[in-house]
Amino acid sequence: MGRFTDRTVVVTGAAQGIGAAYAAALAGEGANVVVADRNIDAGKAVADEINAAADTTANGGSAIFAEVDVADPDSAAALAETTAQRFGRIDHLVNNAAIYGDMKLDLLITVPWDYYKKFMSVNMDGALNVTRAVYPHMKKSGGSIVNQSSTAAWVYSGFYGLAKAGVNSLTQQLAVELGGNNIRVNAIAPGPIDTDATKTVTPGSIVEDMVKRLPLKRMGTPADLVGACLYLLSDEASWVTGQIFNIDGGQIIRS
């Protein structure tokens, strides 16, 4: 028996990178996982890999793929419906999807307005949108939500950081609104994580410089984040809500 046996978890942005690592780890501990993403081919491949993994089958976990655009309320509602029909319940949600690897690099003051609105609708509002669609399915028996923030919320990083600061505040506000339904809402704020998306968006020289300034002198990996995500979703964290956990090699230290 795993910590998530007979539980259903929706992970958005799980077609690659950190979301795929969360999905695999949850299934490895017995969860029925919905790999939810706009990237159909990569998402299906992740679900197939999870179903083929020996530890998943041993613990009873499984995965399905569901296409979603987290910025679109109808698409989020369809995701919640598909999940509930397939598994009969939704216990946990990880709001991980974001425009990241292929994001435009521009300043807040000059970024084209349409791009900015689209970006915020995915990277900030997406978490609220999917939560609004999923929470009615959690209301009866309670549940937990993890939002994917970033240390970018606390250091200058333009509209990307602004969206993550919004995710932090959303986490605190929703923790208050949903606590009465025994639904916990927390966030993970990773530092620089070695994913394909980071390689695309951040030049190697900037990453090297960032790593030099970290107390723990290496980039993080998706595996470094998995333990915190599973803890926050699990019953072990049953009195933890509204918190933002930095998993960042010591990048953010308040003195």
Residues that bind ligand NAD in the complex, under the rule CB under 6 A: 12-13, 15-19, 37-39, 68-71, 96-101, 122, 148, 150, 190, 192-193, 195, 197-198
- Write the single-letter amino acid at 167: V
- Least Cβ distance, residue 176 to ligand NAD (angstroms): 23
| 22 three-class SS | helix
Least CB distance to ligand NAD at residue 199 (A): 9
Q: Tell me how far CA of residue 31 lies from CA of 121, 164, 224, 228, in angstroms.
A: 29, 27, 20, 16
In terms of Cα–Cα distance, which of 152, 89, 148 is closest to 124? 148
Minimum separation from the CB atom of position 24 to ligand NAD (A): 13
- Residue with the closest Cβ to ligand NAD? 17
- CA dihedral (123, 212, 232, 95) in degrees, to 10, reads 10
Strand order in the sheet with 183-190: 62-67, 32-37, 8-12, 92-95, 143-148, 183-190, 244-247
Given a contact cutoff of 8 angstroms between Cβ atoms, the answer to whether 142 and 188 are in contact is: no
Candidates 100, 135, 160, 231; catalytic one:
160
Nearer to ligand NAD, 59 or 168 (CB): 168
Using CA atoms, how far residue 70 sits from 114, 121, 164, 209, 225, in Å, is 17, 8, 15, 33, 22
Q: How far is the CB of 60 from ligand NAD (least distance, A)?
A: 26
Amino acid 31 reads A
Output the smallest distance, CB 247 to ligand NAD, in A: 9
Phi, psi of 152 (to 5 degrees): -60, -20
Q: How many angstroms separate the CA atoms of 188 and 191, rounded?
A: 10
Q: Quick check: is 116 catalytic?
A: no
User: What is the set of active-site residues?
Assistant: 160
